[in-house]
Amino acid sequence: MRKLTTTASILGVSLALVFTAQAQAPESFRVISPIFGQLVSFSMPSDFVAVFENTKGGHYIREAVLKGETPERWTQMITVIGEKGMTLTPGASPETFAASIAGGFKSACPDSFAARPFGVLKFGRFAGFGAVIGCGRVDSGPTRHSETALLITLKGATDYYTIQWAERGPETDEPPVNDEHWQMRLRELSPIDLCPIVTGEAAPYPSCVSKS
């Protein structure tokens, strides 16, 4: 779901895209992006392309969709979000951050919302939380549809980050949050990690590439 409507600077972020071959998985890109205080690293299937990016104050967002789709008309979307300085927010944790995002979903579909927590996760030395959240009926977009997403939150050194893999489908009373393919989606995004920004280092960020 779109969280900002401000004008985007498409593909303005410096990305390191390193092809990797993963056993029993489609070819993917290693995406390494400097977002606020750290490099955010994960794998993205090669049939996705970034179509929207924006930084507004302490909030960063980038969206990628399947090639040939658009930010308005898409069937799958991978979204990366950064929240600057959020580790200083009292009570903040990967779980409460995930809950706040889930609350946004629920407000859009109070009668058809569902969620399935994966629980506490670890990405390198950084704490995270995973869940699947879904709306059975959403009226935004060209037609009414369902929208379900794998949601990963990470607590960085100073900032918080999320990676979301969302899928749209026919409207339903029960969004497919219990479908086992969300575990596969998590594996496809892996390895997920945060790396320090090294002064003077440019893409493809060899210090982060060499970590995995």
Q: Going residue by residue through the chain, which has 212 residues, state the pLDDT in tens, using 9 for 90 and above.
A: 443 333 233 333 444 444 343 344 458 889 999 999 999 999 999 999 999 999 999 999 999 999 999 999 999 999 999 999 999 999 999 999 999 999 998 998 999 999 999 999 999 999 999 999 999 998 876 788 999 999 999 999 999 999 999 999 999 999 999 999 999 999 999 999 999 999 999 999 999 987 65
Contacts of 210 (CB under 8 A, 6+ apart): none
Q: Which residue has the tokens 């990797």?
A: 20
Tell me how far apart the alpha carbons of residues 51 and 57 are, in angstroms, rounded to a whole number. Answer: 20
What number of residues does the chain have?
212
By DSSP bridging, strand 145-155 and strand 160-169 are antiparallel
Residue-range domains of the chain with CATH: 16-209 (3.40.1000.10)
Short-list 129, 203, 189, 206, CA closest to 161: 129
> Closest Cα partner for 81 from 40, 125, 119, 44?
40
Q: Are 155 and 128 in contact (CB under 8 A)?
A: yes
Beta bridge partner(s), residue 55: 60
**Backbone angle region of 211, left / alpha / beta, with phi > 0 → left and psi within -120 to 50 → alpha:** alpha
At residue 137, the pLDDT reads: 93
**For the chain, how many helices (H) and strands (E)?**
3, 11
pLDDT at residue 210 in the model: 76
CB 39 within 8 A of CB 206: no
Helix (H) or strand (E) holding 209: helix 206-209
Could you give the angle at the alpha carbon of 64 between the alpha carbons of 119 and 80, nearest 5°? 40
Question: Hunting for tokens 């889930």 — which residue is that?
Answer: 102
Alpha-carbon gap, residue 138 to 160, rounded angstroms: 27
